[in-house]
A and B are shown apart, each in its own frame.
Chain A
Amino acid sequence: MTRRPGRESIRSVFDVLPDPSARRWQLPRISAEDRWVGGVAGATARELGVDPLVVRASFVILALAGGWGLLLYAAAWLILAIAQPRQVARYLPQPKAASPFHRYVAVAMVVLGLLMVFRNATFFVADIVWPIAFVISGFLIAWTRHRDADGVAAVVRILAGVVVGVGGMIAFLTLSSGTGFADAFLVLLIGVAVILGIALVAAPSLVRIGRELDDERQSRVRADERARVAAHLHDSVLQTLTLIQHHADDPARTAQLARHQERALRSWLYRPDAATGFGTLRLRGALEEVTADVEDEHAVSVKMVVVGDATEIAVASADRLAALIGAAREAMVNAARHSGAPRIDVFAERLDDRIEVFVRDTGVGFDPSAVGSDRRGVRESIEGRMRRAGGTAEIRTRRGAGTEVVLTMPIPPRADDANHTAASGTTAETPVSR
């Protein structure tokens, strides 16, 4: 379902996105790996950018609130499951708030609000719901994401969790039922002792069940993956091999088929995350689309290297990026048509305040002064396009010495650090996941 850019200029940067529907917001997608019951918590957690455990605990608390949590979960599950087939394969949710702390506070407030609403419903047993809510919250504060902080921050977090859990419980007990502080504390101790006792007894079987569930989930994921690999191989590679046999006496066509399939398979094998997220642009993805087209249409080999692509480029610079990609495409097409070289080298680097793209061939070159000013060609489609968008183009060439087109486009500096670390999930090559 890819919209291929026409042979003419690329009018909008969205022409080069692999899938137009990736622009719109989509319902969270249930994933097989993150699925305990129905996958609702996992999908919601991914959408919000929080730990799935927190969302699961929220549903548990809400379920205790007169069973409303169960209804919510079932409703969400229905919606997500029904909407599932229509979604695009690659969708990367945007983190909603810059700081994780804000997101967790948001979740906590939503749960608190819902509890307030359900408070007056039937089956809401306040004496059970509130203490459990406090305990679970305290536990989560201490436990969630403790892996990424050392030393003082971790200790503070654990203490905060204990204070919220224990303190909240005691406060609730003393205030609501009028018992004294000492009595409340005693009740708490008894409760903890009971829980510990049950836990000790039940622990081994719980662990075993947990492990079995995990194994089952893993083998399910592996089977799905195997099926996916087989389907992909069957579809693309085998068909290409069949086609190649039919065109065995047409070396140009055979080379083109082989090149196309090599590119697709290489990208699929080594860069499975190479997709654009909605609302953002990746230099690499856009360039890959263009180099693929040029390779297919002009029977040349285009080797592409991209450096510094880890951060997305703001949508505000979409016009500039579109002009840059368009000019690069024209440069490649020129090289393919006129240079006589079998290979074109493309190098793109995203620096702090600009993007530089070099399109080079070691072909026949040309004499730039000999090109008539009435011939639009290079002047308009490359230099003019770059200039109008605020960039520059330089064409270095000499008869017999090849050609290099240097495109420079200023862009706003990288976003602040929060967005930087949130966005650079995949790295080049791998980390470069190149």
Chain B
Amino acid sequence: MTADVVRVVLVDDHGIVRHGVRAAVSGADPIRLGAREWRIDVIDEAEDVAEAIEVIVRSRPDVVVCDVHLPGGNAAAVIRGVIARGVTAKFLALSVSDAADDVIEVIRAGARGYVTKSIDGPELADAIVRVHAGDAVFSPLLAGFVLDTFSADLDAPIDPELDRLTAREQEVMRHLARGYTYKEIARQLTISVKTVETHASAVLRKLQLSNRGELTRWAADRRIV
């Protein structure tokens, strides 16, 4: 079966990182997801916010792998700039930082996943393919952060849809925080991988849209609504 191609743009202000990521994901074996096989093709690169927006608008990639901290702004600025130009692309944030602020900001701006730079090549390639397929990618750290945020006491009227995790979603997040992959979680909880992915996507949506105290307080600090 011939592999489908995921077209990727890399955004990072360190040339050596771009080089390393390109080598790691381009050389990987085709990744199987569901019934299809995927290959990754890095079509372009960018170094800062302005260049990134230009490159993305021009080359229309499927997925953008973007460092959180950039000259002239950050990944969230790139996402907003690209959306403002009417271009849709799925963003995967890649960062060396563990800081909660970075994580929240980039997810609230619309990224579909967040991984740290200590991830290895095959895992990163897998993450790119899954983001392209519409799934949410959670590093253990992001899962832990989600659990922290959604377990804190609520200080405002709740929207049951957005402001709480269901028991199942909590289970999935806990397993992600313990280092399980989606496949391992599916086996552990005896559900399908697709169901795990559905739960993860639902949690991502809540993280993006919820008006829980921490999330809005953080946004108010930065005057972003």
Binding site for B on A (CB under 8 A): 266, 270-271, 301, 303, 305-308, 310, 343, 345, 347, 349, 358, 360, 362, 404, 427-434
Check A404 against B98 for contact (C-beta < 8 Å).
Answer: no
Q: How far is the CB of A37 from chain B (nearest CB, A)?
A: 32
Q: How far is the CB of B95 from chain A (nearest CB, A)?
A: 11
Bound CA–CA A307/B218 (angstroms): 19
- Which residues does chain B contribute within 8 Å of A434, judged by CB atoms? 98, 100, 141, 144-145, 148
Please provide the 8 A-B residue pairs with the shortest distance between their CB atoms, ordered closest to farther.
Answer: A429-B100, A345-B179, A430-B100, A432-B100, A305-B144, A347-B178, A270-B99, A307-B147
Check B140 against A345 for contact (C-beta < 8 Å).
Answer: yes
With A345-B179, A360-B178, A434-B145 as contacts: A308 and B151 at CB distance below 8 Å: yes
- Which residues does chain B contribute within 8 Å of A307, judged by CB atoms? 144, 147-148, 151, 177
Bound CA–CA A311/B147 (angstroms): 15
Of the listed residues A345, A360, A428, the one surrounded by the most CB atoms of chain B closer than 10 A to its CB is: A428
Q: Give the B interface residue count (CB, 8 A).
A: 25
With A430-B99, A433-B100 as contacts: A305 and B141 at CB distance below 8 Å: yes
Select which of B96, B103, B118, B174 is within 8 A of A429 by beta carbon: B103
Is B143 engaged at the interface, CB distance under 8 Å to the other chain? yes
10 A-B residue pairs with CB within 8 Å: A303-B118, A305-B140, A305-B177, A307-B151, A345-B140, A345-B179, A347-B177, A404-B178, A429-B148, A432-B100
Bound CA–CA A347/B100 (angstroms): 17
Binding site for A on B (CB under 8 A): 96-101, 103, 118, 140-141, 143-145, 147-149, 151-152, 174, 177-180, 214, 218
Check A429 against B99 for contact (C-beta < 8 Å).
Answer: yes
A347-B174, A434-B98 are known contacts; what are 19 more A-B pairs with Cβ within 8 Å?
A266-B96, A303-B179, A305-B140, A305-B141, A305-B143, A305-B178, A307-B144, A345-B140, A345-B178, A347-B178, A347-B179, A349-B174, A349-B177, A428-B144, A429-B100, A430-B100, A430-B145, A431-B214, A434-B141
Q: How far is the CB of A358 from chain B (nearest CB, A)?
A: 5
Check A432 against B145 for contact (C-beta < 8 Å).
Answer: yes
- Which residues does chain A contribute within 8 Å of B149, judged by CB atoms? 431-432
Bound CA–CA A362/B123 (angstroms): 14
Check A306 against B178 for contact (C-beta < 8 Å).
Answer: no
Check A360 against B103 for contact (C-beta < 8 Å).
Answer: no
Bound CA–CA A427/B178 (angstroms): 21
| Cβ-closest chain A residue relative to B101 | A430
Check A431 against B140 for contact (C-beta < 8 Å).
Answer: no
Q: How far is the CB of A421 from chain B (nearest CB, A)?
A: 10
- Which residues does chain B contribute within 8 Å of A431, judged by CB atoms? 100, 148-149, 214, 218
- Which residues does chain A contribute within 8 Å of B141, judged by CB atoms? 305, 429, 434
Check B99 against A360 for contact (C-beta < 8 Å).
Answer: no
Check B178 against A303 for contact (C-beta < 8 Å).
Answer: no
With A303-B140, A345-B140, A429-B145 as contacts: A360 and B179 at CB distance below 8 Å: yes
Bound CA–CA A432/B102 (angstroms): 11
Bound CA–CA A404/B147 (angstroms): 20
| Cβ-closest chain B residue relative to A301 | B118
With A307-B151, A345-B178, A347-B178 as contacts: A270 and B145 at CB distance below 8 Å: no
Check A428 against B178 for contact (C-beta < 8 Å).
Answer: no
Q: How far is the CB of B203 from chain A (nearest CB, A)?
A: 14
Of the listed residues A306, A345, A349, A432, the one surrounded by the most CB atoms of chain B closer than 10 A to its CB is: A432
- Which residues does chain A contribute within 8 Å of B174, judged by CB atoms? 347, 349
- Which residues does chain A contribute within 8 Å of B103, judged by CB atoms? 429
Check A306 against B144 for contact (C-beta < 8 Å).
Answer: yes
Select which of A271, A301, A343, A428 is within 8 A of B145 by beta carbon: A428
Q: How far is the CB of A414 from chain B (nearest CB, A)?
A: 10
Check B140 against A270 for contact (C-beta < 8 Å).
Answer: no
Of the listed residues B100, B143, B147, B148, the one surrounded by the most CB atoms of chain A closer than 10 A to its CB is: B148
Check B148 against A347 for contact (C-beta < 8 Å).
Answer: no
Of the listed residues B147, B177, B178, the one surrounded by the most CB atoms of chain A closer than 10 A to its CB is: B178
Check B218 against A266 for contact (C-beta < 8 Å).
Answer: no
Check B147 against A266 for contact (C-beta < 8 Å).
Answer: no
Bound CA–CA A362/B100 (angstroms): 27
| Cβ-closest chain A residue relative to B151 | A308
Bound CA–CA A431/B148 (angstroms): 9
